[in-house]
Structure 1
Amino acid sequence: QIPWPQPSWEMHFTFMGFGSSPPMGLSSALLEVHVGQTSVSTIQGQRVVLPIWYTSRSQRIPYVSWVFGRPGANRLQILTYMDGTVKVQETYLKNRTGFVYSMPDFNISIAINNTQEMDSGEYMCTVNIVDDDTISGKNIGLLNLTVLVPPSPPMCQLHGKPYLGGNVTMSCKSAFSKPSPKYSWQRTAPNTQVFFAPTQDLAQGTLMLRNLSKDMSGVYVCTAANIAGSSKCNITLEVNSPLSAAVIAGAVVGSLIGVGLMILFVLQMFIYRNKKKDAQEEMANEIKEDAVAPKTLSWAKSSGSDIVSKNGTLSSVHTPRGYKPPYIHPRSQTLTPTPSVSSQSLPLYFPPSTNGAQLQAPQQELTGHQGLTTSTLTRMGAVPVMVPAQSQAGSLV
Structure 2
Amino acid sequence: MGALRRAALALAALLGVSSAVVEVHVATDSVVSVEGQPAVLPAWYTSHSSKTPYVIWMLERNTDRFQILAYIGGVVKVGETDLKPRVGFLYPVLIRNVSLLINATREQDSGQYTCSVNVEDDSTSTTSVGVINLNVLVPPAVPTCQLHGSAVVGANVTLSCSSKKGKPSPLYQWQREPPTPQVFFPPTQDLARGTLKLTNLSLEMSGVYVCRAENQAGSKNCSIVLEVHSTSTKAVIAGAVLGSLGALATIIFFAQKVVGYRRKKRDSQEEGANEIKEDALAPKTPSWARSPASDTMSKTSTLSSIAGTREKPYVARPPSDTASILTTTGSYRGPPPRGGGRPPNLSPPAVNGTPQRRQDPAAPLGSLPPSSLARAGAVPVMVPAQSRAGSLV
**Normalised by the size of structure 1, how large is the TM-score?**
0.55
Separation in 2 of the partners of 1:147 and 1:226?
13
Q: Secondary structure at the match of 1:248?
A: helix
Query: Of 136, 151, 160, which residue of structure 2 is paired with 1:147?
Result: 136
Q: Contact 2:152 / 2:232 at 8 angstroms: preserved in 1?
A: no
Q: Residue 77 of structure 1 aligns to a residue in which SS?
A: strand
Q: How far is 1:182 from its partner?
A: 1.2
Q: Secondary structure in 1 aligned to 2:186?
A: coil
Supply the distance in 2 between the matched residues of 1:249 and 1:206 (Cα, whole angstroms).
Answer: 31
**For 1:227-280, what per-residue CA distance to the aligned partner results, in whole angstroms no more than 9, with x for missing partners?**
110001111111112255411233356779999xxxxxxxxxxxxxxxxxxxxx
Give runs of aligned pairs for residues 1-397 of structure 1, distance below 5 A: 30-72=21-63, 74-132=64-122, 139-242=128-231, 244-252=233-241
SS of residue in 2 equivalent to 1:95: helix
CA displacement, residues 275-334 of structure 1 (integer Å, 9 cap, x when unaligned)? xxxxxxxxxxxxxxxxxxxxxxxxxxxxxxxxxxxxxxxxxxxxxxxxxxxxxxxxxxxx
Amino-acid identity (%): 57
Q: CA deviation at 1:105?
A: 2.7
The one-letter code matched in structure 2 to 1:227 is Q
Corresponding residue SS for 1:115: coil
For the Cα contact (< 8 Å) 1:66–1:125, is it kept in 2? yes
Structure 1 CA distance for aligned equivalents of residues 217 and 69 of structure 2:
28
Structure 1 position 192, deviation (Å)? 1.0
Separation of aligned partners in 2, 1:60 and 1:253: 93
1:75 is paired with a residue whose SS is strand
Q: Measure, in 2, the Cα distance between the counterparts of 1:256 and 1:154.
A: 42
Change (3 A) 1:54 1:239: same
Structure 1 SS opposite 2:197 = strand
Q: CA RMSD in A?
A: 2.5
SS across alignment from 2:140: coil
Q: CA deviation at 1:57?
A: 0.7
Look up the SS of the partner of 2:49 in the other structure. coil
CA distance in 2, matches of 1:256, 1:77: 76
Letter in 2 for 1:125: C
CA deviation map 1:168-192 (0-9, x unaligned): 0001011111111111001111111
Other-structure match for 1:304: none
Letter in 1 for 2:214: A
Letter in 1 for 2:107: E
1:197–1:46 distance in 2 versus 1, CA, 3 Å: same
Question: Which whole-Å CA distance do the structure 2 matches of 1:70 and 1:78 have between them?
Answer: 12
Instruction: Rate the CA distance shift 1:251–1:131 in 2: closer, same or farther, 3 A.
Output: farther
Higher helix share: 2
Q: For the Cα contact (< 8 Å) 1:31–1:133, is it kept in 2?
A: no
- Indicate how the Cα distance of structure 1 residues 258 and 228 shifts in structure 2: closer, same or farther if over 3 A, else same: farther
Partner Cα separation in structure 2 for residue 156 and residue 209 of structure 1: 15
Conserved in 2, the CA contact under 8 Å of 1:50 and 1:111? yes
Consecutive unaligned residues of structure 2, counting only runs of 5 or more, are: 1-18, 249-393
* CA spacing shift, 1:46–1:254, aligned 2, 3 Å: farther
Say which one has the larger Rg: 2
- CA deviations over 1:12-68 (Å, ceiling 9, x no partner): xxxxxxxxxxxxxxxx86211111110000111111110111111112111111111
Residues 122 and 144 in structure 1, CA contact (< 8 A), matched pair in contact too:
yes
Assess, with a 3 A threshold, how the Cα gap between structure 1 residues 114 and 191 changes in structure 2: closer, same or farther: same
1:30–1:213 distance in 2 versus 1, CA, 3 Å: same
Corresponding letter in the other structure for 2:198: L
- The alignment partner of 1:242 has SS state of coil
Return the alpha-carbon distance in structure 2 between the equivalents of residues 107 and 76 of structure 1: 22
> CA contact under 8 A between 2:171 and 2:194: conserved in structure 1?
yes
Q: Report deviation, 1:214.
A: 0.6
Give the letter aligned to residue 122 of structure 1.
Q
Give the counterpart letter for 1:179 in structure 2: P
Structure 2 distance, partners of 1:195, 1:33, is 51
Q: Check conservation: 2:20, 2:119, Cα contact below 8 A.
A: no
Amino acid paired to 1:123: Y
Aligned to 1:161, the other structure's residue is in SS state: coil
Alpha-carbon contact 1:34-1:141 (below 8 Å) kept = yes
Task: Give the superposition deviation at 1:70.
Answer: 0.8
Equivalent AA in structure 2 for residue 238 of structure 1: E
Whether the 8 Å CA contact 2:21–2:119 is kept in 1: the answer is no
